[in-house]
Amino acid sequence: MDLKIKNKVYLISGGAKGIGAAISTILSEEGAIPVIIDPSVEEGKKLLNIVYGNEGKAAQFPRRLTQVQDAKEAVAFALNEFGRIDGVVNNAGANDGIGLENGTPEKFRASVEKNLAHYYDLVHFALPQLKVNKGAIINISSKTALTGQGNTSAYTAAKGAQLSLTREWAVELLPFGIRVNAVIPAEVMTPLYRNWIDTFDNPEQKLSEIQQRIPLEKRMTTAREIADTVVFLLSPRSSHTTGQLIFVDGGYTHLDRAIGT
């Protein structure tokens, strides 16, 4: 299937590792141009080398979006490099475990700001280009926004807000033909997830327990499976889909996990 995204330019925050790297890779495979917004320079170089080796185009803006100016300059960088922006993938973030008892009000506020504000900032500055090109926006959220997890109040608050913004922006941007959707992963083996698993006394046993609770095939979702859905939603092949919260999780969030046991 031709996704009709050749030479279109997409911003991906956190685009050098994990789910973001998979999105950047598949966009390039489909002939699109990923702009990787990520401070992970070495990982970014590896991705760029692969893209260039396949005669594709890409660029990295090696910065974390911690300040408003960072997002503004990321958009300016993309326009300077490629002259257009066709979509935004808000993906960067981290579950930093700020809960009610193991956090403070100050840490809570800082964590919500870190995981949420740059979603708004990047879209705000990219919006003029998105209007011109009838672009698309994808917000990567998390099943924790709906299921809870425990001891992670700030992260789940930010993730829930991302889902709310998805619906709000879908309404606000209807007159411009800009589609806005959210993709919601559950259990995906990313570098951050691996770091979390390794905090347990028996990491492989913990991983096996988690996999047994995933209804479809008792396995983790791959980053590429998330990315396939994201890239489809970015493309004109998904031309009448907006305001949707789409779960790519092997049934983890909604199916009875006792099925098949």
Residue 196 has pLDDT above 90, yes or no: no
- The CATH code belonging to domain 9-186+223-248 is 3.40.50.720
Residue 235 has pLDDT above 70, yes or no: yes
The whole-number pLDDT of residue 260 equals 55
Q: Using pLDDT thresholds of 50, 70 and 90, give the confidence band for residue 261.
A: low
Q: What is the mean pLDDT of residues 193-218?
A: 91
Segment 96-155, tens digit of pLDDT: 999 999 999 999 999 999 999 999 999 999 999 999 999 999 999 999 999 999 999 999
d(CA 226, CA 239): 19
Residue 190 has pLDDT above 90, yes or no: no
Q: What is the mean pLDDT of residues 198-207?
A: 91
The answer to whether 191 and 18 have CB atoms below 8 angstroms apart is: yes
Segment 12-55, tens digit of pLDDT: 999 999 999 999 999 999 999 999 999 999 999 999 999 999 99
Among 55-64, 100-109, 193-202, name the one with the lowest average pLDDT.
Answer: 193-202
d(CA 199, CA 55): 40
The whole-number pLDDT of residue 178 equals 98
How many CA atoms lie less than 13 Å away from 81 in the CB half-sphere? 21
Segment 170-181, tens digit of pLDDT: 999 999 999 999
Residue 222 has pLDDT above 70, yes or no: yes
Interior angle at CA 29, CA 23 and CA 116, nearest 5? 15
Q: Using pLDDT thresholds of 50, 70 and 90, give the confidence band for residue 191.
A: confident
d(CA 21, CA 191): 11
Per-domain residue ranges for the chain?
9-186+223-248, 189-220
d(CA 45, CA 42): 5
DSSP E strands: which ranges in 28-145?
A: 33-37, 59-61, 87-90, 136-140
Q: Model's pTM, two decimal places?
A: 0.95
Average pLDDT along the chain? 96
DSSP reduced 3-state for 247: strand
| Residues annotated as part of the active site | 155
Residue 194 has pLDDT above 90, yes or no: no
Q: 């800082």: which residue's tokens?
A: 110
Residue 62 CB coordination number (10 Å): 15
The whole-number pLDDT of residue 257 equals 72
Residue 259 has pLDDT above 70, yes or no: no
CB-count burial class (<10 Å; 0-12, 13-18, 19+) for 68: middle
